[in-house]
A and B are shown apart, each in its own frame.
Chain A
Amino acid sequence: MKQVLVLSGKGGTGKTTLSSSLIKLSGAKAYADCDVDAPNLHLALEETLEPKNSDFYGLPVAQIHSEKCVSCDLCRQKCRFDAIDVKDVYSVDRHACEGCAVCQLVCPADAIEMIPRITGHLQLYQNDHVFSTAELCMGSGNSGLLVTEVKKGLKDWKDKAPLAIIDGSPGIGCPVIASISGVDLVLLVTEPTLSGFSDMERIVETSRGFPAKIAVCINKYDLHLGNTEKIEKYCMENHIAYLGRIPFDLDAVSLLNSGKTLVDK
């Protein structure tokens, strides 16, 4: 199975729009949404199936049993994430806690327990195709682990589906890096704005740390021809495969809002 991952650096350049259209056009039997922070591919591709739902456990969260706590303050001093609150009693700020377990290690009173924590919900749709997606729980960290789990959903289709299309997340950090690992092609969709260009350069640099091929296309190219030409020149100079231009069309919004892709008509 060849895997194509759609990324952009900047948000809102059209990753989901492009992914959903490519899935429809190519007839790909395997696809996934790795933008677990703000997943949208399921809105563009109507599924009539019931998904298989599962909870994803990320790193555990510390909990202080106040009846055992001797208020020695060691946990607060050693926590690098400012996750220990001291009011009347010592407690853990669940959102700040990264689950490192240092507090448990240093507690002389055995008052701290690491509790399993659900950090995301996975959905896997499959019959004649497979669609793997997930949603990160509000404010959770380590979204890269959840992204890796989403990609595992396609694993059983390795021999059945020759092509997989994966919708990625904006940025260059943890979920993006987790999504790039193991793909064959990173398809970058950018837009002709200074921000789009600058963010594309950063995602190109990030992607170059991986063996995947890189290709670029420009969405909404006619919003600024000057910037479109600058991006094209950048691709030529940096030997990045350039795939072409997609025009801006206000009708695209209403089409997407009716739950269709750009190639359904």
Chain B
Amino acid sequence: MKIAVLSGKGGTGKTFVSTNLARVIESSIYLDCDVEEPNGHLFLRGPVLETDPVALPIPVVDDKLCDGCKKCVDFCQFNALAYTGQRVIVFDKICHSCGGCEIICPQNAIKEIPREIGKIEIRSYEDTRLYTGMLNTGEESGTSIIGNLLQKVSEEDSVVIDCPPGSSCVVMDSIKDADYCVLVAEPSIFGAHNLKMVHQLVKLFEKPLGVVLNKTLGDENPSEDYCREKGLDILIRIPWSDELGRYNAEGMIAAEQKGEYWQMFSDLLHRIKEEVKG
């Protein structure tokens, strides 16, 4: 079973929920798809067992073969190529690695070479295996790292996917194989607005979903109002507490600190399993 944890707004507690869920699942796999700012390994702390570089093919133009026809420059939809009057230059970081320039070049002057854009670090912590995607700083897109991460797991694995914030293509890529989506929301109008955006995204895929109301404070909760209005399942409410705040600040797993939190996340897992079974 694959459980995706997402939120729209950042900082609502995706990593908190996903690392704790990963711990209460026996022999789980935790995938950190927030490749721009991965943090799961700060909580599930184990030595790096292996590092897989992730590379994308980018074009290199052989100036001796290029006759300056500019067909590649005109074709590139991403404006990653430019002709200076003497030669074609490639803007590596804008290139989407579609391979179109190599196909269109009548002189066969373009070849592709791999360029490293990030890596996947593999760790183990207790009986949890972590795969952390990390985009190199200065790189634009981690889509291919997410693709590689998702290929690390098989159908039989019990997987928790910690998604990036937002509602763009990288979130979509992260949830597309999930059996269940957990939406983590905080009690603010910002949280509720982004919950709505991410709810619409998950609906596009027709995935079963439930909401974790995190950091709740008293009665006021715009995110809870949204759940009621749309009839969304509220899986659990986790009240704001100094204790959880401290665990989070220091990179500690709440479920390992206290039996009551272990129970809370076990109950959450149970609810999810029931929902997936239908």
Contact = CB atoms under 8 A, between A and B. Distances in A.
Contact of A171 (B78, B164, B194): B164
Interface in B248-270: 248-251
Contacts of A205: 137-138
A256 B189 contact: yes
Nearest to B165: A11
A224 B169 contact: no
A199 B37 contact: yes
A257 B141 contact: no
A198 B140 contact: no
A253 interface: yes
Nearest to A42: B193
B12 interface: yes
A100 interface: yes
Q: Is the interface of A mostly helix, strand, loop or mixed?
A: loop
A99 B169 CA distance: 13
A156 B36 CA distance: 33
B172 A95 contact: yes
Interface stretch (A49-57, A84-92, A122-130, A172-180): A172-180
Q: Is the interface of B mostly helix, strand, loop or mixed?
A: loop
Contacts of A140: 168-169
B15 interface: yes
Interface string A2-44: 0000000111110010000000000000000000011010011
B123 to A, nearest CB: 15
A194 B251 contact: yes
A105 B75 contact: yes
A247 interface: no
Q: What is the size category of the interface that chain A forms with chain B?
A: 35 or more
A68 B267 CA distance: 54
B137 A206 contact: yes
Interface string B78-99: 1000000000000000001111
Contacts of B100: 100-102, 105
A153 interface: no
A233 interface: no
B187 interface: yes
A47 to B, nearest CB: 15
Given A80-B96, A101-B77, A195-B15, 11 more contacts: A43-B193, A80-B99, A105-B103, A139-B169, A141-B141, A141-B169, A172-B137, A173-B135, A174-B140, A177-B138, A198-B37
Interface of A: 9-13, 16, 37-38, 40, 43-44, 59-60, 78, 80-81, 95, 98-102, 105-106, 135-136, 138-141, 143-144, 169-174, 176-177, 191-195, 198-199, 202, 205-206, 209, 223-224, 227, 250, 253-254, 256-257, 259
19 contacts: A11-B11, A12-B10, A38-B166, A40-B193, A40-B194, A44-B190, A59-B78, A101-B77, A170-B36, A171-B164, A173-B170, A191-B11, A195-B15, A195-B251, A223-B246, A224-B245, A227-B249, A257-B188, A257-B222
